[in-house]
Structure 1
């Protein structure tokens, strides 16, 4: 039973990384597709045709990022720390879970925003002129790789913290029943 749980955890980690890596590659591919369309650039202003392929790839990458984040957070469980004192008293696994959860949310917000802005700039059906949005898709895609690392770290540390909490409760219950 324990080996099956460990294999399950490994599969969850692999799923999260596969989703984030795929989303990252799609973000970079969207940037490549965006750069293939015609554009005229003067200083920070640019006139270019939208790329439907970049829009589709950017949207697909956003969906995969959201899915990876949901999988990691739902299967990792809830690690609740209400005060700084609770955080100081928490085990190393719980502290790591809280830190990696915070960083994964920050990276999710920044990467998702960058990718959505980059994808939406390619969704228009006409030629657009305005401030250049170069590198949003590829930087968003690169952030997805980092998001995968933090989400896996959250999943692993949150499940380890939950296992520690169950062990501590069972030891406390055993000590109470003996006394």
Structure 2
């Protein structure tokens, strides 16, 4: 029963990460549809409400997927007592890397999303491709979390 639940959990995390990645891509498309004037690093544009909503959804799904993979997914294997196997070391390595990818991906998604916030002024720094790159990191996060869960299942 535990392995079936682990497989379902891995699929759930993958689905959430893939959905977050596609939301990041769609947010980037919506952001590129608004008119803007670019002068060096500064950019004046109208914020895109659709990009704000899609980017917020992508960041939320990435956070929920990470929480699901960490707290509901085989976390007890790392904290269990006994000899440290190579699978435990591997799972610890992948959970640390997934935390790093989460931090960078969340930063990119939130920065790209906040550049489309309506209350901000119309001019500021250039945040092109932040939402797109954040979407790519959602896919990377999904792969890392699956490897983490699989290595935990074989502890």
Q: Taking structure 2 as the reference length, what is the TM-score of the superposition? A: 0.91
Correspondence for 2:116? 122
- Is residue 2:50 matched to residue 1:90? no
Residue deviations 1:55-77, cap 9 Å, x none?
Answer: 00010111111111111111221
**Conserved in 1, the CA contact under 8 Å of 2:3 and 2:153?**
no
What's 2:148 paired with?
154
Query: Would the aligned equivalents of 1:49 and 1:126 in 2 still touch at CA under 8 Å?
Result: no
> How well do the aligned residues superpose, as a CA RMSD in angstroms?
1.8
Indicate the structure (1 or 2) with the bigger Cα radius of gyration. 1
Residue 15 of structure 1, CA deviation? 0.5
Structure 1 regions of 5+ residues with no counterpart? 162-179
Which of these residues, 65, 69, 87, is aligned with residue 66 of structure 2?
Answer: 69
Q: Is residue 13 from structure 1 mapped to residue 7 from structure 2 by the alignment?
A: no
Please give the alpha-carbon distance, in whole angstroms, between the structure 1 residues aligned to 2:123 and 2:11: 42
Distance apart, 1:43 and its partner CA: 1.9
- For residues 108 and 43 of structure 1, the distance between their equivalents in structure 2, rounded to whole angstroms, comes to 30
Note the residue ranges of structure 2 that are not aligned, 5 or more in a row. Answer: none
Secondary structure in 2 aligned to 1:99? helix
Q: TM-score, normalised by structure 1?
A: 0.79
- Give yes or no for the alignment of 1:108 onto 2:105: no
Show the counterpart of 1:23: 20
